[in-house]
Structure 1
Amino acid sequence: MQHPVFNSENSGPRASRTRRHRQAGLCVLCAVWVATLGAARLPAADQALRQRELEAKVAPLLSKHCYGCHSGAEADAGLALDHFETISSYLKSRVVWEKVIEKLQLDAMPPPDASELAPAERQFLVTWIRDTINDFECGQQPNPGSVTLRRLNAAEYQNTIQALLGVNYTPAANFPGDDVGYGFDNIGDVLTLPPMLMEKYLVAAEKISRYVIQTPPPDQVFQASYAGAQLEFEGGGNMRDGALSFYASGVASIEEQLPWTGKYRLTITAGGDQVGEEPCQMGIAVGEKRVGTLAVPNDTESPQEFEIELRLGEGARRISIGFLNDFYIAAKGGQPAQDRNLSLFHVELIGRKSGGTAIEPSQLRPQHRRVVFTTPSAEKDSQTATHKVLERLASRAYRRPVATEELRELVGLALEIQAAGDSFEESIQVAMQAILISPHFLFRVESPPASEQYGEYRNLDEFELASRLSYFLWSSMPDDELLGLALQNQLRVGNNLERQVARMLKDERARAFVSNFASQWLMLRKLESFVPDEQMFPKWNDRIKELSKLETLNFFAGVLKADMSVIRLLDADFTFLNQELAEFYGMSGVQGDDFVRVSLAGTPRSGLLTQASVLAVTSNPTRTSPVKRGRWILDNLLATPPPPPPPGVPELQEKGPLVGSMRQQLEQHRADPNCAGCHKLMDPLGFALENFDAIGLYREQEHGVPVDSSGVLPDGTRVSSARELQRVLTEQNRQKFVECVTEKLLTYALGRGLEYYDKCAVDKILATLEDSDFRFSALISAIVHSDPFQKKGEREIAL
């Protein structure tokens, strides 16, 4: 077949199944594309052209390759294709066109015992489908798609906290790991909010607010508390129902070592049994001096609290509570006894010493001053100051102006805290916690289109656009300049957006784009789990693992910063090394720990494919893996992933008695028709890198035998080295590589997987890059200006 990567026939054995079962695969694909065109949207002239092509070319192919399984009442899977006779009968619904094209391009069908599609026929079908997509979808307003409400991932959360509050704090280090979708961890569909993570957010919000907002030193508090039964007493008394009940004159007392001289509050819970006209009298004395007398109402069922403020000196102090007016008349003449009693239920002594007044401005941290830029004063009451502080904080945290009702609730919360006796600063702490656990902070919220009518799309508002831009290039919130333009509705005016992209790429915060996009696109994070055999590869260690990753990230950053063509990622004659990594490679002339640009002239290395990080992550612990390396190229450089292995087919190391070299074992593996189709695509690509061992060191021999890095690509092209493979990729497949990078970048920028309707945007982006030699800045700018990035539509379900 003509594989998209190699532009020529892809010959070789195919998977073997029963003829009808295998032929059904291609027929279903045929059915997919003939059933997914919406004829109603095609102009009449185009419909006529498609009808002629259908009758003259498409229908005969379907008859030859599909009708054997899919015709009549007993058609396989209930899908009969033989009754479709007009273009309008075919063009009924929509599905993912590119999936159909990929299957045809991969030569997945027809099976060996089916009638084979000639290369020209297969290419015709691919071209016909792609042209129809363009006519059908791209001639109108394509759906820009919709992104699932997406939570900030760990990196975005941490960067946002840093940008918002200036806190070099890493709470996200303790968060559960983020799930990955479509190769990236910023995909809305997989960024759920499990209860454990919500608990982590609550803890982090409290810790962050306490660090950022400095509060006056807390008051010192002395407290002594006694139940009635714990009181010492003299005189006529006993314990009754948990209270000390005086039936005659008596005194209860407490003695405490007081920590300071000052005001104390004595609270006594008491009730009386009144006899006669006079209520119970309770006297209070400090030492030998009476300081108060209180009348206790006649109620022991619902005792009352009595408070008296005392000024007490530091040191040992004794406080006494006496029953002053005992009264008793014995029962006589049938009249009951009359007995006045006093009951003490609880006594508490509390002292409070102020921790100090407001902190001196010179002692306030910058983070505090950033948030609490104003405080209550003679000219500004507490409510006004609270409103001003929280309006600015919430607006920056939510990446848009805070709504009136949102602000009212935040201010109300803070004022409630102040009314309870806490300081202004403490109230801002609590309000900050509420902001940091708000969905408007934790999620990137975008409003849906105003109309629910299908096909009604809208431009993102400028704040939403600013957030998309900042989280794309910085993995963080918009800065003041972006938010200022959005507030003035000026972000899209003139070339403002273009200038902002250029500014942001030059900013140090763009390192987050390098770290988060490049490391995931190139699968560098898998290095963490790569542990090669220590005896076979003694030069590899954790330090080299980290340095090899840094080489690739610095290399990517260097190409980006210099605004080179993205093609240079594959064939650049330079890299970035420090002394230790250069010595690992066997290169001299590099000094120090810092990474510097190093020429690769005269070496077998150039571009990503010869860097240790990529070579290691595509290897096994004991040997290289041409299969993994080939698949990595198809997946990450050409966006043409092979299908998964057929069910029941074991991996190479599980197949049993395969003997000989790795090449010979793979040849035996490919002898299985179930395996041949994909391996003839992957293996030649991987073998071209065989001069580099499992940890990326160059070699010309393995176990005393010359390394054979030769291979034949499906189109007949022979490659026998990494440089020859690079030429194939950068010359014959330049467009396919740039398309792959574009799709990966657009996926990362949007936070969602691409759908069939995004193909129009991808094609439009690619069309703008030719004149710029595929420069990185032009690619990023084209993505930022694309409809999927600028607009919000709806998510379609393919039928």
Structure 2
Amino acid sequence: MAASLKADLSPKTVAFLQTHCFGCHGEEKQKGDLRLDTLSQDFTDPEATKVWSEVRFRMHNAEMPPPEEPQPIPEALAQITEEITFSILKGRAARQARRGPISHHRLSRSEYVHTLYDLLGVVFDAEAPGALNEDPRWHGFDRLGSMLTMAPSHLQRYYEAAEQVIQEAFPDTPRESKLERKEVGEQKRRLLQLGEGWSIHLPDSGRYRIRISASGLAAFTGKLPYLCLWHEHHKRSFQGRVLDAAEEAPEIIEFEGLFPAGHYQIRNHARTIKHANGGISMFLNELIDASQPVASLRGGHRSPWTKVVDEEGRPTMPLLLVDWAEIEGPLLLASDLAKREGVVPEEGQGPEAWLASLQGFATRAWRRPVDPVQIQPYIALIESEQEAGESFRSAYRTALSTLLTARGFLYLEEGDPETNRSHLQAHEWANRLSYFLWSSMPDAALLDVAQSGAWTTPSGVEAQVQRMFEDPKIDRFLESFPSQWLQLHRVGMFEPDPELYPRYGPWLEESMIHETKAYFAEMFRGNHPIAELVDSDWTLLNPRLAEHYQLPVAHPTHWARVDLPPHASRGGMLTHASILSLTSDGTRHRPVHRGAWLSEVILATKPSPPPPNVDPL
């Protein structure tokens, strides 16, 4: 039988298989339809490798040979398992080398947005209606080069996006930040019961400072309201916090950050109340006299579903009382304006100045050295636009927007088809590292290190990685990687049955997702042992999630790290509500699906298909 085996495995391993395996999986007998004496040892063959992986797994778990058969010496079994493992890894590497590299791939939507912001300081909402196509996912990941192809439907949207971004960065008249105040009404306050909101509008995407004067009244149970800014198109909140402020002493809450354009609601985060007839109702908001306390509303209501206080004048639910909202923006930070310096030359300068400015901008935008010859078509475009009657500024904007639709901007490129080189150049290394950790273009410091040659030494790479870890842009990695790896975009896909989970709502769902992301970030920043991904004595909770887990509230309004009691089962990510909901259907747990998810996502092992005579779940 040994003659039928290839010589990929050592004679010692072949002898082991003859002694302990071929009796049940050989010429005369094939238990489980498995025959090893004729199984190919070409580990570049994925089908054969799949079988060897199963054999290795069963050997490692002491399932082969079975307990009733003569057992090998444990040390010998460990050596055989190690050799098969090494052969599998060698075969995988050989397959990948044979496959050839992907020399270029399109920027993902998130990479496109971050690159535009780091290049020009412009906030572009890629998820707005009609903006950019959604990126395809593969096992949760949306940044795989082989998936990020360019379809005809993309092109027109990229042209429109580039024009919008350049127009915003270089308008004919400088944009000014505006301050708008929206009053509820003279001597009036907006009462926001659970699930209701008060609308505000941001006309443009950008950085805003939003200030809200409001009171937060706890229900008689002690639960506080959660004030958030809920985007009506994106269907999620962008900022929020628990509010505890007396009715006669409203608090001014300030949110500042990057916001997409659109309609927002200042919302007391949604929860539904089930009627006796089985229907679901959202509470309505009301205008109330600011001179009268909420307790005065306890009488005169037509329905108990709108009664906000009990007979003792205590709120029956968490309430928000809003006085006004103040919107300042878009804020133009000096750091954002600095990104645009030198991009547009002074009007009246000639083609030489255009060339210098465009070459400098293209070098940053295309993330590689740019030859002046490559800029000549853009010089010609400016001249032709001016001949057609366009102003210099309009013509120059056309050249810039065309540059942002070039292959060098929309794609990450590596290699050189003319020389067929097999090694990375300095700027390509910088791009790889930057798009991995920052989802965006490399900064000047990283490019300087690349050009100096320090990137070729382990100490040089380590120093840059550590610097990048400490940059705020690392938050992009800490946000996107766990979302893709753990497939958190699927949380809420199967809405829980309101009969079984009447208290489930957007605030809880967002808290579930945030817990897992924050836990991953804490693991990363604190350099915790990797075992704590699955088992730990701590987690991070806000009041809503602490209530859901029936754990003590660590902080009345904010997220906080919590040391779990010995009896708690919430340590590690696998028992996070977000992860458990992924493998449920809204009414019950699905153990088989949960096991398959665990195998694929955590153990990186695709489970075997079910036997042919087993009905699908």
TM range (shorter): 0.5 to 0.7
Match of 1:517 among 471, 481, 489: 481
Q: TM-score, normalised by structure 2?
A: 0.63
Q: Is the CA contact 1:386–1:414 (under 8 Å) kept in the aligned structure 2?
A: no
Match of 1:495 among 459, 473, 489: 459
Q: Is the CA contact 1:376–1:382 (under 8 Å) kept in the aligned structure 2?
A: no
Q: TM-score, normalised by structure 1?
A: 0.50
Say if 2:574 is the partner of 1:609.
yes
Aligned length: 446
Amino acid at match of 2:361: L
Amino acid at match of 2:371: A
Amino acid at match of 1:576: L
Q: Which moved more, 1:404-413 or 1:415-424?
A: 415-424
Q: CA deviation at 1:645?
A: 2.4
Say if 2:395 is the partner of 1:427.
yes
Amino acid at match of 2:494: F
Alignment of 1:192-203 (within 5 A): 192-203=149-160
Q: Is the CA contact 2:554–2:561 (under 8 Å) kept in the aligned structure 1?
A: no
Say if 2:571 is the partner of 1:586.
no
Match of 1:186 among 128, 143, 154: 143
Counterpart position of 2:203: none
Counterpart position of 1:565: 529
Q: CA deviation at 1:209?
A: 1.3
Amino acid at match of 1:67: E
Q: CA deviation at 1:627?
A: 1.8
Question: Per-residue CA shift, 1:354-394, capped at 9, x if unaligned?
Answer: xxxxxxxxx9997666335276569x832122112211211
Identity of counterpart residues, as a percentage?
30
Change in 2 beyond 3 A, CA 1:461/1:374: closer
Q: CA deviation at 1:508?
A: 1.7
Match of 1:628 among 584, 593, 605: 593
Question: Per-residue CA shift, 1:542-577, capped at 9, x if unaligned?
Answer: 221111100110111011111222222222222112
Q: CA deviation at 1:492?
A: 2.7
Which of the pair has more CA radius of gyration?
A: 1
The secondary structure found in structure 2 opposite 1:459 is coil
What is the RMSD computed on CA atoms of the aligned residues?
4.2
Counterpart position of 1:643: 608
Change in 2 beyond 3 A, CA 1:148/1:211: same
Say if 2:45 is the partner of 1:95.
yes
More helix by share: 1
Counterpart position of 2:310: none
Question: Per-residue CA shift, 1:38-67, capped at 9, x if unaligned?
Answer: xxxxxxxxx9xx245435745984586243
In structure 2, how many angstroms separate the alpha carbons of the residues matched to 1:416 and 1:364?
A: 35
Change in 2 beyond 3 A, CA 1:381/1:450: closer
The secondary structure found in structure 2 opposite 1:371 is coil
Change in 2 beyond 3 A, CA 1:130/1:105: closer
The secondary structure found in structure 1 opposite 2:456 is coil
Change in 2 beyond 3 A, CA 1:64/1:190: same
Say if 2:342 is the partner of 1:373.
yes
Say if 2:366 is the partner of 1:398.
yes
Counterpart position of 1:412: 380
Q: Is the CA contact 2:430–2:442 (under 8 Å) kept in the aligned structure 1?
A: yes
Say if 2:97 is the partner of 1:147.
no
Q: Is the CA contact 1:482–1:491 (under 8 Å) kept in the aligned structure 2?
A: no
Higher-RCO chain (CA-CA 8 Å, sequence separation at least 6): 1
Structure 2 unpaired stretches of 5+:
175-331
Match of 2:350 among 348, 371, 382: 382
In structure 1, how many angstroms separate the alpha carbons of the residues matched to 2:173 and 2:410?
A: 30
Match of 1:170 among 121, 125, 133: 125
In structure 2, how many angstroms separate the alpha carbons of the residues matched to 1:36 and 1:442?
A: 48
Amino acid at match of 1:103: E
Q: CA deviation at 1:93?
A: 7.7
Counterpart position of 2:492: 528
Counterpart position of 1:731: none
In structure 2, how many angstroms separate the alpha carbons of the residues matched to 1:80 and 1:627?
A: 29
In structure 1, how many angstroms separate the alpha carbons of the residues matched to 2:592 and 2:405?
A: 46
In structure 2, how many angstroms separate the alpha carbons of the residues matched to 1:117 and 1:146?
A: 47
Change in 2 beyond 3 A, CA 1:462/1:157: same
Say if 2:473 is the partner of 1:506.
no
Q: CA deviation at 1:599?
A: 1.6
Q: CA deviation at 1:143?
A: 7.4
In structure 1, how many angstroms separate the alpha carbons of the residues matched to 2:148 and 2:394?
A: 33
Change in 2 beyond 3 A, CA 1:611/1:547: same
In structure 2, how many angstroms separate the alpha carbons of the residues matched to 1:565 and 1:186?
A: 27
In structure 1, how many angstroms separate the alpha carbons of the residues matched to 2:373 and 2:19?
A: 62
Q: CA deviation at 1:640?
A: 2.5
Alignment of 1:335-346 (within 5 A): none
Q: Is the CA contact 2:599–2:606 (under 8 Å) kept in the aligned structure 1?
A: yes
Counterpart position of 1:104: 55
Counterpart position of 1:574: 538
Q: CA deviation at 1:94?
A: 3.0
Counterpart position of 2:14: 54
Change in 2 beyond 3 A, CA 1:571/1:200: same
In structure 2, how many angstroms separate the alpha carbons of the residues matched to 1:619 and 1:481?
A: 47
The secondary structure found in structure 2 opposite 1:163 is helix
Q: CA deviation at 1:647?
A: 4.3
In structure 1, how many angstroms separate the alpha carbons of the residues matched to 2:355 and 2:114?
A: 26
In structure 2, how many angstroms separate the alpha carbons of the residues matched to 1:176 and 1:119?
A: 58
Question: Per-residue CA shift, 1:604-633, capped at 9, x if unaligned?
Answer: 321112211111112221112222222222
Amino acid at match of 1:178: D
Q: Is the CA contact 2:415–2:422 (under 8 Å) kept in the aligned structure 1?
A: no
Match of 1:537 among 501, 505, 509: 501
Question: Per-residue CA shift, 1:449-478, capped at 9, x if unaligned?
Answer: 8776xxxx7331111111111111111111
Structure 1 unpaired stretches of 5+:
1-26, 38-46, 71-75, 85-89, 218-362, 653-799
